[in-house]
Amino acid sequence: MKALGDAALALVVVALPVVLITPWMLLLNARDRRYAALRAVIGQCCSDLGLRGMVGVDVTGGACRRTSRVGRVRSRCRAQRPAV
């Protein structure tokens, strides 16, 4: 009976991290797919409007929430601001 208990404990020790990590990895994978899709749409829109290199965009999204935020980032712009 002791061997069976040891085998069960070993199974729990090996399987528990996998069971706990798998849902988190699935959430991160879904977040990355949403991020890539949103970034592609924004990049295409900027390209169609001739704004590529003039507008810096930062896309953020949470792993547990389905909302995303898009922000403008001036440090990523390659074009210089015109002198006023």
Q: If you search the block for the tokens 């006023």, which residue do you land on?
A: 84
Which tokens belong to 22?
């798998």
Number of structural domains, the chain? Answer: 1
pLDDT band, residue 12 (cuts 50/70/90)? very high
Q: Is residue 33 part of a domain?
A: yes
- With respect to residue 10, please indicate whether it lies within any of the assigned structural domains: yes
Nearest to 8 by CA among 16, 22, 21: 16
Enumerate the H helices of 49-67 as residue ranges.
none
Residue 82 lies in a domain: no
Task: Tell me whether residue 84 is in a domain.
Answer: no
pLDDT of residue 40: 86
Which structural domain, as residue segments, surrounds residue 64? 2-76
- The whole model's pTM is what? 0.57
Calculated CA dihedral for residues 74, 77, 78, 83, nearest 10 degrees: -50
In a domain, 83, yes or no: no
Residue 30 confidence class, pLDDT cut points 50, 70, 90: confident
Dist. CA 58–CA 68, nearest whole Å: 10
Which pLDDT tens digit goes with each residue over 54-67? 777 777 777 777 77
